[in-house]
């Protein structure tokens, strides 16, 4: 007999968060003290001379700011099976693997039971505030989540993506049941090793439970857009499966076929209804509410690298609200979205003061040059200022620079509400130019408006610094969903070039210290091949982010792009 799950009291979740954030400064001190006490015996903290001290002054005086490279030798030993107290007091035997999409190199980040407990705290907090505005009752979630393969080293260490470590924990399904939003898809579908088969069955399960679906979600907005782009191609096959009650032959994995056979029965009435709705849609606008009439909202991370997918996602969602979810990284969680009605582009995240110790590196302009100042604490940040985030968490990352730049937009009680701005280390730069991921996104969005006049859209994009000849130049790769004329592509290319407004770039282009920007159009499906490449390496589709700037060291992805170029042109700007 299945154990009865106790439903969460969401008002108590809110009350607890309000209590903690009213005293964020002391909560931060206690959080740091607890982390340092539990890990006092670790080789790393011992080597820095902390000697069991837990006060803030000793911590800042002894422990340096670090990036992953500074901890890599310690982590490598742990991955190799060394169970001595290296970074933490207790041995770490599970690691999350980052996607490595930007630099082509993956990171191994400690995962622990405490980390999972923090994940639940963040999710419950966000859900509690979200459910006040968009209540879900006795519904299901169409959750486009994918679990990649986990592996074990010969020393018994488990390696998996952060999302896989989260989704495969028994406590995850327990939480979803306690929140009363069980997933449409059986576990055998979610945990399939073939993400294309999983995606097909996610869509099929959603259609079978279309009246019960109240939530459409994925970790990232990209996955939701990808799902409904796929739906456009395969919807008639899905309708046939529903009509005949027989699963498509494209699904070959035995456990998936067994799980789906329990759900799939001939249903001509439902098949005809879906066929009629899909046939009647103009350009697939409002697809989500047509398929799922009781959907309350679409949920996923929609900020930062996900913003380029917002336009297409709004097209599919129609009048259904888009809600951005929690703020976190493979290294750890940061904050919750307490204001779900705010458009994702303007979303802020309230930092949870009990989940980690946070510091913020301010930036200042001195003689026209941006310099870093000494880090300040959680409650010492100033509204309107930009900072780089630093995290100390229970899993063995101390004063770890995340590389995320955020802006403080306000406070919720005494904890800051921040907006994600950019990654600090993703720059297009050749000479004295400094263009961020956000600058690239703005350039692509502006130029893509020229394509829209021909009813063509940019499916995905990335960039590269070409230094094969001197001076070097920017290369932008586009995948588009139609055939654009050479004239229009030329206009787009010049627009891309002119939209980079950085003074260093403009000056360098005019002085010919940077050559004309180049636009290269790649074959349809190229970015899907890149996704499949990372999935083949063990990355999770749920965690995938298209690399916006391909490093020269990322030779495999760069080669895939170069081999699929079908058209190219150079900017005539600054001639």
Q: Would residue 3 count as lying in a domain?
A: no
Is residue 558 pLDDT above 70, yes or no? yes
pLDDT, the chain, mean: 88
Summarised one tens digit per residue, pLDDT across range 39-60 is 999 999 999 999 899 999 999 9
**Total number of domains in the chain:** 3
Q: Last residue of some domain: 423, 458, 479? A: 423
228 contact partners, CB below 8 Å, separation of at least 6: 284, 287, 288, 316
Summarised one tens digit per residue, pLDDT across range 238-257 is 999 999 999 999 999 999 99
Mark whether 499 and 403 lie in a shared domain: no
Mark whether 227 and 255 lie in a shared domain: yes
Q: Tally the residues of the chain.
A: 575
Q: Would residue 432 count as lying in a domain?
A: no
Provide the whole-model pTM: 0.84
Mark whether 344 and 387 lie in a shared domain: yes
Q: Would residue 130 count as lying in a domain?
A: no
Summarised one tens digit per residue, pLDDT across range 483-528 is 889 999 999 999 999 999 888 888 888 878 889 999 999 999 999 9
End-to-end CA distance of the chain: 76
Q: Last residue of some domain: 264, 295, 320? A: 320
Nearest to 144 by CA among 63, 205, 77: 205
Mark whether 472 and 490 lie in a shared domain: yes
Summarised one tens digit per residue, pLDDT across range 472-495 is 899 999 999 988 899 999 999 999
Torsion of CA 429, 434, 435, 437, to 10 degrees: 90
**Rounded CA gap, 262 and 470, in Å?**
63
Mark whether 41 and 139 lie in a shared domain: no
Mark whether 288 and 166 lie in a shared domain: yes
Nearest to 85 by CA among 43, 143, 137: 43
57 contact partners, CB below 8 Å, separation of at least 6: none
**Rounded CA gap, 354 and 380, in Å?**
17
Mark whether 361 and 278 lie in a shared domain: no
**Rounded CA gap, 243 and 454, in Å?**
37
Domain that holds residue 235: 135-320
Mark whether 459 and 558 lie in a shared domain: yes
Is residue 1 pLDDT above 60, yes or no? no
Mark whether 448 and 376 lie in a shared domain: no
Q: Would residue 124 count as lying in a domain?
A: no
Exposure string (b/e) for 419-454, b if CB count within 10 Å is 16 or more? bbbbbbbbbbbbeebebbbbbbbbbbbebbebbeee
Mean pLDDT of 261-282: 93
Q: Last residue of some domain: 423, 449, 474? A: 423
Mark whether 230 and 340 lie in a shared domain: no
Extract the tokens encoding 522. Answer: 């790649």
Range with top average pLDDT, 110-114, 163-167, 559-563: 559-563
Mark whether 183 and 286 lie in a shared domain: yes
Mark whether 102 and 217 lie in a shared domain: no
Count Cα neighbours of 464 within 13 Å in the Cβ-side half-sphere.
22
């Amino acid at each position: 007999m299945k154990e009865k799950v106790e439903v969460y009291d969401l008002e108590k979740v809110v009350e607890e968060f309000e209590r903690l954030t009213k005293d964020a400064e002391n909560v931060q001190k206690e959080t740091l003290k607890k982390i340092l006490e539990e890990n006092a015996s670790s080789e790393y903290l011992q080597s820095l001379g902390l000697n069991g001290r837990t006060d803030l002054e000793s911590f800042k005086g002894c422990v340096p700011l670090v990036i992953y490279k500074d901890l890599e030798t310690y982590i490598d030993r742990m991955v190799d099976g060394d169970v001595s107290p290296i970074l933490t007091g207790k041995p770490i035997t599970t690691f999350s693997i980052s996607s490595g999409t930007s630099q082509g190199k993956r990171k191994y980040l400690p995962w622990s039971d405490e980390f999972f407990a923090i994940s639940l705290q963040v999710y419950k907090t966000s859900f509690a505030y979200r459910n006040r505005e968009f209540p879900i009752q006795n519904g299901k979630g169409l959750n486009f989540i994918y679990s990649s393969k986990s592996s074990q080293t010969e020393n018994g260490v488990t390696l998996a993506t952060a999302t896989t470590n989260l989704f495969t924990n028994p406590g995850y399904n327990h939480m979803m049941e306690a929140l009363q939003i069980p997933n449409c898809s059986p576990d055998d579908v979610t945990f399939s090793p073939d993400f294309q088969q999983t995606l097909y069955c996610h869509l099929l399960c959603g259609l079978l439970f279309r009246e019960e679906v109240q939530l459409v979600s994925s970790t990232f907005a990209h996955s939701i857009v990808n799902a409904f782009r796929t739906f456009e191609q395969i919807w008639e096959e899905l309708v046939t499966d529903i009509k005949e009650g027989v699963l498509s032959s494209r699904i070959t994995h035995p456990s998936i076929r067994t799980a789906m056979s329990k759900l799939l029965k001939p249903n001509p009435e439902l098949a005809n209804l879906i066929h009629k709705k899909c046939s009647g849609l103009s350009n697939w606008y409002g697809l989500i509410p047509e398929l799922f009439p009781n959907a309350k909202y679409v949920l996923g991370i929609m900020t930062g690298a996900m913003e380029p997918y917002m336009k297409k996602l709004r097209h599919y969602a129609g009048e259904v609200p888009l809600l951005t979810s929690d703020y976190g990284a493979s290294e750890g969680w940061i904050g919750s979205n307490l204001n779900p009605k705010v458009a994702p582009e303007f979303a802020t995240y309230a930092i949870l003061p009990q989940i980690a110790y946070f510091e913020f590196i301010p930036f200042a302009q001195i003689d026209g040059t941006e310099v870093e100042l000494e880090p300040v604490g959680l409650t010492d940040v100033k509204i309107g200022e930009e900072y780089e985030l630093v995290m100390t968490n229970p899993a063995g990352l101390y004063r770890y620079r995340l590389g995320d730049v955020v802006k403080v937009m306000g406070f919720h009680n005494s904890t800051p509400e921040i907006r994600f701005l950019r990654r600090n280390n993703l720059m297009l730069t050749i000479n004295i130019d400094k263009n961020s991921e956000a600058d690239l996104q703005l350039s692509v969005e502006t130029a893509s408006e020229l394509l829209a006049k021909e009813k063509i859209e940019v499916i995905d994009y990335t960039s590269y610094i070409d230094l094969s000849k001197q001076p070097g130049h920017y290369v932008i790769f586009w995948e588009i969903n139609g055939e654009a004329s050479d004239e229009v592509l030329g206009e787009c290319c010049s627009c891309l070039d002119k939209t980079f407004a950085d003074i260093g770039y403009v000056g360098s282009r005019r002085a010919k210290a940077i050559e004309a920007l180049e636009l290269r159009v790649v074959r349809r499906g190229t970015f899907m091949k890149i996704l499949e490449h990372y999935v083949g390496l063990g990355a999770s589709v749920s965690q995938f982010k298209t690399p916006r700037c391909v490093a020269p060291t990322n030779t495999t992805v760069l080669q895939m792009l170069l081999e699929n170029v079908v058209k190219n042109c150079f900017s005539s700007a600054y001639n």
